[in-house]
Amino acid sequence: MAPSAQPSSARQPLKLLMLHGYTQSGPLFHAKSRALVKHIQKAFPTHDVNAVYPTGPLRLDPADIPGHDPSSNKAEEDRIEAYGWWRRSNTADPPLYQGMEEGLAAVAKVLSEEGPFDGVIGFSQGAAMAGMVVALLEPGRKEAFAHFAADQGLGMPFPESFDPNTLQHPPVKFALCYSGFRAPGDRYRGFYERPPILTPILHVLGSLDAVVEESRSRALVDACSGDPEKDGRVVWHPGGHFLPSQRPYLDAAVRFIREELDRSTGSADKKNEEEDVNDMDVPF
């Protein structure tokens, strides 16, 4: 009799938090990232891949949407399904991210209720949020925020929704940031400095991206520990502001995820192997 298929419950979980871009939503990002997630599922047949797509808490008005042509049909405008994790206020210099605390609280709620997650994948504003989220889950980040908040009152306080006393979620193993960027100015330095972001991040950038300037993306790259470019953690595709679905860029994502999963489990596997050897009765 042929052996029965391995039930999904017996497979190792691989849980991904998917953060959409500005003016998008969870369902829309699900559609746009389908090729990426399918490629990951195919590459990890022994894992139970589960991608979770929350929607940002800020529903955007037509005036918030770049390039929106005001319509005389109010009913049509009311049906616009566009969301964000925060709104950028350009009246401040450097720009202020209004509603960021609400956006972070929404992500913290997902982490608490549906975690733990192995990795975070974000696009554009969602990629910027991914960089913040992985930093907030790292040990010692609260002290970094306290340092910059005390420095002439320039830094924002540590987000209450990520207080480790209330949010019980370990650091994630990896993040993928597509068209990501760093939040500007001294106010947000706690996310990126003392220490830099320690969680491994793969940065995927478009050489023709006209929405996020290269300098903003490079600022996020530079906020990561080590030398991401030298370590192969910066990948350029010859396109604009989107998730590339061509095979080389899907393979690069899978290769990065596999490396980080192997790295995170290697020490545990080695320890188990050593324990198994010690338990043996055979005298070597």
Residues belonging to the active site: 124, 209, 241
- CB count in 10 Å sphere of residue 224: 24
Please calculate the CA angle 113-130-178 and round it to the nearest 5 degrees: 130
| C-alpha to C-alpha distance for 82 and 21, rounded to whole angstroms | 10
How large is the C-alpha radius of gyration of the chain? 21
Token reading at 7: 């039930």
- 107, 129 contact by CB (below 8 A): yes
SS3 readout for 150-181: HCCCCCCCCCHHHCCCCCCCCCCCEEEEECCC
CA dihedral (53, 57, 61, 63) positive or negative: negative
Largest Cα–Cα separation, the chain: 85
Token reading at 110: 């997902």
